């Protein structure tokens, strides 16, 4: 294991925190939100520049410290809110994670200052604990047992990289494929990954965050119910997809209930979080919707099971609107749906040149690194494709996107890299 300081600059950390705030969604574990590199590609490809530069700096620092070449298998920005923790575990503890060889967690903000708790501990060896300092990286074998103590206040941000030595599991080719629009199959996660112990189904939360709901037998589903989970083709009546602003408010309640006071809505005040939505997205609807409130059933959209519905919606939205639908991130959404076309700033091109996405080392297939021009073309193409898809998807646009109630954390850097 190694603790390396100063890998990322304060400014890089600040920008990554902002990217995480913009794009992260529920789905990893309770009270934790995360944005994978694919979420960044999907929602706002220009923000990839920050992520790729940081990812490369961390990879190089870890390769040097561990004295071996590494391939990135997973890149994620993670926001840990009060109530979150991970008990003793190692990072390759699932049959489908056996390719994972090393882990590197980069801290983006400070324990004791930006958040309380959240100490990282190793079960054996030295150092046995690591405190978060912006720019600090802790790297360790994926087999090393460690934990993160509960976060008790504030929000803890990390950039988590997992490394593999198996070229087939390297993430880079998939990132490039996404950027250039090549079809990319998404391996399904085991259903258990989507369920919280209280029965809350994170897929339904994601749907709700996007302003959609699944309706079955006239009522909105909140938790997974085995009868609809199975996805057997004989399911009658079928699940229906509804546009459901009231469910969105339910999600806010769930988020508040699980995250305590950490949920930071518009203006930063948890109690006012729902206000702009109430004003614009169905002020008269009671908090607990029933099936009759699923006002706009999207015509013809019915499914045999939750996973099928979620995947279909995801595909329908071309994987693109999906991750940018959390409440605090309407800046990005507006940017994507309604805002001016962002310009790709010239200075970043020079900067990009050093940021190869693709590795060519011993085991990996030899590929030339992506050039700034190639990435620029890919980004432009993906933005154009996005604009077209969004235009075609107006019918599915969640109502609350019309709210125009944009907000921005004052500590945010400007929307575009400079």
Q: Which residues bind to ligand AKG, rule: CB under 6 A?
A: 86, 91, 105, 120, 146, 148, 158, 160
Residue 127 beta carbon to Fe ion: minimum distance, rounded to whole angstroms: 16
> Tokens at residue 19, please?
């990217």
Is residue 226 within 8 A of residue 183, CB to CB? The reply is no
How many beta carbons lie within 10 A of that of residue 411, not counting itself?
Answer: 9
Which is closer to ligand AKG, CB of 28 or CB of 400? Answer: 28
Which is closer to ligand AKG, CB of 105 or CB of 336? Answer: 105
Determine the Cα–Cα distance for residues 192 and 282; give it in Å rounded to an integer: 33
74 interface partner picked from Fe ion, ligand AKG, none, CB below 5 to 8 A per type: none
Residue 127 beta carbon to ligand AKG: minimum distance, rounded to whole angstroms: 13
Residue 20 beta carbon to ligand AKG: minimum distance, rounded to whole angstroms: 12
> With contacts defined by CB under 5 A, how many residues of the chain interact with Fe ion?
1
Is residue 80 within 8 A of residue 100, CB to CB? The reply is no
Is residue 312 within 8 A of residue 303, CB to CB? The reply is yes
Which is closer to ligand AKG, CB of 99 or CB of 280? Answer: 99
Which is closer to Fe ion, CB of 103 or CB of 307? Answer: 103
Nearest to 12 by CA among 24, 20, 4: 20
Residue 89 beta carbon to Fe ion: minimum distance, rounded to whole angstroms: 6
Residue 162 beta carbon to ligand AKG: minimum distance, rounded to whole angstroms: 8
CA dihedral sign of residues 87, 89, 91, 94: negative
Nearest to 206 by CA among 85, 321, 36, 117: 321
148 interface partner picked from Fe ion, ligand AKG, none, CB below 5 to 8 A per type: ligand AKG
For residue 111, what is the DSSP state? B
Distances (CA, A) of 12 to 51, 120, 148: 9, 22, 23
Instruction: Restricting to residues 121-160, name those near Fe ion by CB under 5 A.
Output: none
105 interface partner picked from ligand AKG, Fe ion, none, CB below 5 to 8 A per type: ligand AKG
321 interface partner picked from Fe ion, ligand AKG, none, CB below 5 to 8 A per type: none
Instruction: Restricting to residues 56-115, name those near Fe ion by CB under 5 A.
Output: 91
> Tokens at residue 128, please?
């046995």
* Footprint on this chain of Fe ion (rule: CB under 5 A): 91
């Amino acid at each position: 294991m190694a603790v390396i300081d100063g890998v990322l600059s304060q400014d890089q950390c600040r920008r990554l925190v902002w990217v995480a705030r913009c794009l992260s969604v529920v789905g990893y574990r309770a009270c934790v939100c995360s944005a994978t590199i694919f979420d960044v590609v999907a929602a706002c490809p220009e923000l990839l520049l920050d992520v790729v530069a940081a990812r490369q700096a961390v990879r190089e620092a870890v390769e040097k410290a561990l004295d071996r070449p590494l391939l990135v298998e997973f890149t994620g920005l993670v926001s840990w809110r009060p109530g979150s923790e991970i008990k003793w575990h190692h990072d390759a503890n699932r049959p489908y994670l056996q390719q994972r060889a090393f882990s590197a967690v980069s801290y983006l903000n400070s324990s004791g200052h930006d958040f309380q708790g959240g100490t990282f501990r190793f079960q054996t060896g030295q150092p046995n604990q690591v405190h978060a300092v912006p720019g600090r990286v802790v790297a360790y074998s994926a087999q090393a047992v460690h934990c993160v103590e509960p976060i008790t206040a504030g929000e803890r941000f990390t950039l988590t990289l997992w490394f593999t030595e198996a070229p087939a599991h390297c993430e880079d080719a998939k990132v490039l494929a996404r950027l250039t629009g090549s079809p990319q199959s998404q391996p399904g996660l085991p259903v258990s990954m989507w369920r919280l112990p209280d029965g809350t189904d994170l897929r339904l939360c994601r749907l709700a965050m996007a302003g959609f709901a699944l309706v079955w037998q006239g009522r909105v589903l909140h938790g997974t119910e085995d009868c609809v989970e199975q996805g057997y083709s004989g399911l009658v009546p079928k699940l229906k997809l509804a546009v459901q602003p009231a469910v969105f408010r339910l999600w806010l309640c769930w988020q508040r209930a699980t995250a305590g006071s950490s949920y930071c809505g518009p203006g930063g005040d948890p109690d006012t979080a729902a206000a702009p939505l109430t004003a614009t997205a169905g002020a008269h609807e009671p908090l607990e919707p029933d099936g009759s409130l699923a006002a706009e059933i999207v015509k013809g959209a019915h499914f045999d099971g939750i996973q099928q519905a979620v995947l279909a919606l995801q595909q329908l939205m071309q994987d693109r609107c999906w991750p940018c639908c959390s409440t605090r991130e309407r800046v990005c959404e507006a940017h994507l749906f309604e805002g001016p076309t962002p310009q790709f700033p010239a200075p970043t091109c020079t900067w990009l040149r050093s940021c190869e996405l693709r590795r060519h080392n011993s085991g990996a297939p030899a590929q030339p690194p992506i050039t700034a021009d190639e990435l620029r073309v890919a980004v432009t193409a993906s933005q154009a494709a996005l604009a077209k898809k969004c235009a075609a998807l107006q019918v599915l646009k969640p109502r609350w996107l019309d709210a125009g109630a944009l907000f921005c954390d004052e500590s945010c850097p400007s929307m575009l890299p400079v």
